[in-house]
Structure 1
Amino acid sequence: MAETADLAGAAHLVLVDGVSYLDPAPAVFEAMLEGWTKQQRARFLKWDGTIKPRLSLVRRFAEFSNLYPWQWQPAEFEAFMDHLQSRTPTFTVSSGRNYQNHLRMFCEYITDPRYGWMAVCQQRFGEVPVQILHEWNTVTHVSAYEGDPRRRPLTYDEIQALFDAADGRVEQIRKRGRKGALTAMRDSALLKAYYAYGLRRRENVGLDLADLRRNPKAAQYKRYGALFIRWGKSSKGSPPKRRTVFTVPEMDWIVDVIDHYLTEVRPRFGVGTHPAIWVTERSGRLSRRSANEAFEAAREAADLPEELDLHCLRHSYITHLVEFDYPERFVQDQAGHGYASTTAIYTGVSDEYRNRLLHTKLGQRFPGIWEDPK
């Protein structure tokens, strides 16, 4: 067995030497969780988005099984997953995979000899923790996309209906003589920016005025030729990834939208020198929750399916770039994806585009014979 090392989260660095606990089992369990927390913090993983949910899941599983980690067996885990599926109709395959991965990582941590937990458990309880998740009791990964199949790119008509509804809310509020017209104008521009640049929630609400960029190759767009994204999706403890998203000709209507918002709407919020592009009535930065609510209000007004959410605008952008015949690498870079396979997951090209592509290929294959119908 490998010797215990002075790694972040090692048992001998968490447990107090020479202390005899009145109830050692819960004390050791809490020490395990504390050690796992330190091990993850050492890897620069985020507390709210990563570490905290993982700890909560381990506690939840321990409570369900009524056993401590050194007593766990595969049967307890299988019963736990069955319980989740039977009690939660909306429990998805992707959620189940996340739960399995998190519990597997915890078991890997406490069964790694370098951290010393196996020796501690053997000495104190006469039992050692084991890995309880294996390929025969976990979800087999056979599909690149495991999300809700109802989540999809919007059609061009649905995009137009959504934007018309967002604009319509402004007039409705004005006619009723109620407050909120200014907020509705902001929300309309906000939703259009999500689609026109294919942004994630945080990326858009995190934009500052200083992130507006000129594109020397498209001087006609002035300072709206590109957006510098500073809050891209991070991974494996890395800081947020950065990229530049260019304004494409098919979406250049967004130039007038953002210019009107910045010159006519935003100043009326009275934000002074606040750096954010998207601001609130209280002169603060707009939250991701408020962005979600803006989409939901417009979706309801447009009578679109409830399963569509704000992220569908990003799906739509990527799909439509493909239909505009942009190269795969360009679409990947615009979206900020590390791998082309990720971009492919987002793509749902229309039948019209595929038929157009098919006709083009047939015309190339049979010149002078096949005529592309207009």
Structure 2
Amino acid sequence: MAKIPGSAGLVLVEGVRHLDEEAAVYEGMLSGWENQQKSRMLAVTTIEPRIALIRRFTDFAESYPWAWTASDVEDFTVSLTSASGGRLAPSTIRGYHLVLKLFCDYLTDQRYEWVRECRDRFGQIPSQVCHDWNTVAHLNDYEGRPERRPFTYDELQRLFDYLDQRVEAIAVSGRKGALAALRDAQMIKTAYAFGLRRNELCKLDLADLHHNPHMPDWGTYGSVHVRYGKATRGSSPQRRTVLTVPEFDWVIPGLKQWVEHARPILNPGNHPALWVTERLTRVDGRYLEKRFTRIRAAAGLPADLTLHCLRHAYVTHLVEFGYPERFVQEQVGHRYASTTAIYTSVSNDFKTQTLRKALHRIYAPQPRQSESKESS
């Protein structure tokens, strides 16, 4: 009978006795689980952190998987929530629990033969040590930092005014860096105008700028094709097309200026990246994040506002402009509408306008019958 990827018989040599049999079987388990995950086409960036966590938990428990108990999980969780452990967020700890549960599911699945191997070799068998009563439950849709919020319109205006003033000041002074300042300004504005994540923005190529047949006047700036959208764990990057909407058409002249006039000054040759540095490399996310932090501070904006908050603002403002929920969801690449709802936080101005319309609709004086007859 053919053995499936990850089974004990494929990683342990039958009849061979090891000097340290427990360590050999343990390493075989990790190799088998790695092979099983690879057969499911999971990415290396997903598999390696999982293996590292299992090793970390094994060191903490001071025992091998066939001797693990539920209390080991509980003690591990307590260590993660203590001050010395860094007090990790509930969502992070839940992720750890999920990995431990997946590994135990793999070991206890009879098809992979680890139960038999452990019974025959050690007189013990692995069990599922993660249960509903000793793991973190997913109780809330959003567990991020509560201080994270969208930019207000005033904050956006202050940010964009500062970006424009910065470019002008550097250009007038004759100092180097005017092109970099213009690029940084346009990147930040583009992040908001299309609701892009940091990596999505940095990975854009010139070829990702497309026409919108319904708006030929916008040229190649009618939509942006995102090829490196956020992937679900283990899957490839998700693709989507983000349409330019009329309320954000102000971004087009800036993009056009960068693509057609400023970028060519750098002589990028055949470099595909939309955002290139003076050294003709692609702008990376860490640079952009650091640059944004400095710009935000110089503009006098709250430290809680991150680059990602521009994406929150994009979702919020599309909702305020009256775009359907499904359209907003497609624009930002959310798989579920509930995720889009997490990003939405309509402004006080929008709430006030909505309330004013409702009050007028319900409480505004109605014309008397006689007046309505006379007018007819």
Give the alignment's TM-score, normalised by structure 1: 0.92
| Alpha-carbon offset, residue 162 of structure 1 | 2.3
8 Å Cα contact 1:163/1:298 also seen in 2:
no
Instruction: Please give the per-residue CA displacement for 1:79-124, whole angstroms capped at 9, x wherever unaligned.
Output: 1111111124451111111111111111111111111111111111
Q: Does 1:108 align with 2:105?
A: yes
Name the CA shift for 1:304/1:14 in 2 (closer, same or farther; >3 Å): farther
Where do residues 150-299 of structure 1 align in structure 2 (5 Å cutoff)? 150-171=147-168, 173=170, 178-235=175-232, 237-299=234-296
Q: Does 1:136 align with 2:157?
A: no
| Alpha-carbon offset, residue 37 of structure 1 | 1.2
| Alpha-carbon offset, residue 172 of structure 1 | 5.2
Distance 2:193 2:52 in 1: 38
8 Å Cα contact 1:5/1:115 also seen in 2:
no
Find the partner of 1:339 among 324, 336, 340.
Answer: 336
| Alpha-carbon offset, residue 336 of structure 1 | 1.1
**SS state of the match for residue 59, structure 1?**
helix
Aligned residues: 366
Name the CA shift for 1:5/1:304 in 2 (closer, same or farther; >3 Å): farther
Instruction: Please give the per-residue CA displacement for 1:248-271, whole angstroms capped at 9, x wherever unaligned.
Output: 111111101111111222112221
Computing the radius of gyration from Cα coordinates, the structure with the larger value is: 2
Name the CA shift for 1:353/1:259 in 2 (closer, same or farther; >3 Å): same
Structure 1 counterpart of 2:72: 76
Distance 1:271 1:345 in 2: 40
- Bigger CA drift: 265-274 or 173-182? 173-182
Letter in 2 for 1:341: S
Letter in 1 for 2:77: M
| Alpha-carbon offset, residue 175 of structure 1 | 6.7
Structure 1 counterpart of 2:370: none
**SS state of the match for residue 166, structure 1?**
helix
Instruction: Please give the per-residue CA displacement for 1:296-327, whole angstroms capped at 9, x wherever unaligned.
Output: 22222223333332221111111111111111
Distance 1:174 1:220 in 2: 30
Structure 1 counterpart of 2:47: 51
Identity of aligned residues (%): 50
8 Å Cα contact 2:80/2:87 also seen in 1:
no
Q: Which runs of 4+ in 1 moved over 6 A?
A: none
**SS state of the match for residue 227, structure 1?**
strand
Unaligned runs of 5+ in 1: none
Letter in 2 for 1:51: I
Distance 2:366 2:11 in 1: 78
Unaligned runs of 5+ in 2: 368-376
> Once superposed, what is the RMSD of the aligned Cα atoms?
2.1
**SS state of the match for residue 139, structure 1?**
coil
